[in-house]
Amino acid sequence: MANYKFYINYLRFIAKKLDDGGPEFKNITSELNKLADKLDQKEDLLVEANNVRIMARALAGFSGFLQEHILPEVIAANNQYSEKELRWVIDTSMELMAKLISHAEITNNSENYIIKLPNPP
């Protein structure tokens, strides 16, 4: 498996930020942390059928937070390496979100989904 340590770090960082937001974010932070743990342990990225939609919501919120709050700072710092990495994280997460939602609709929330990540930048 490719090295996704940077992605793991972003997932955990945002999960921590959202976790500080209160109990309404519990399911979202749980899904982000599960994904980070699976990536860190180099496990299959299986999302159980009953968690597909919440994972999609988690990835959408994750991407939105990065795009709105982190990306502008990286661009302002003129850090091209970090910008490339961050844009990969945002684009990949949004693409996954769309695939998860489509999968949930097509399967009527009845089938697990295995996430396949593209090669890192």
Determine the average pLDDT of the residues in 55-60. Answer: 96
35-44: per-residue pLDDT in tens? 999 999 999 9
The encoded tokens of residue 44 equal 């299959």
pTM of the entire structure? Answer: 0.93
In angstroms, the CA 68 to CA 88 distance is 15
Determine the residue type at 121.
Answer: P
Residue 21, pLDDT score: 72
The tokens describing 25, both together, are 């974010």
Tell me the pLDDT band of 111, cut-offs 50, 70 and 90.
Answer: very high
d(CA 75, CA 73): 5
Task: Work out whether the CA dihedral 35, 119, 7, 93 comes out positive or negative.
Answer: negative
The per-residue pLDDT of the chain, averaged, comes to 94
**Could you give the CA distance from residue 13 to residue 35 in angstroms, rounded to a whole number?**
13
Residue whose token pair is 């059928």: 49
Confidence of residue 15 (pLDDT cuts 50, 70, 90): very high
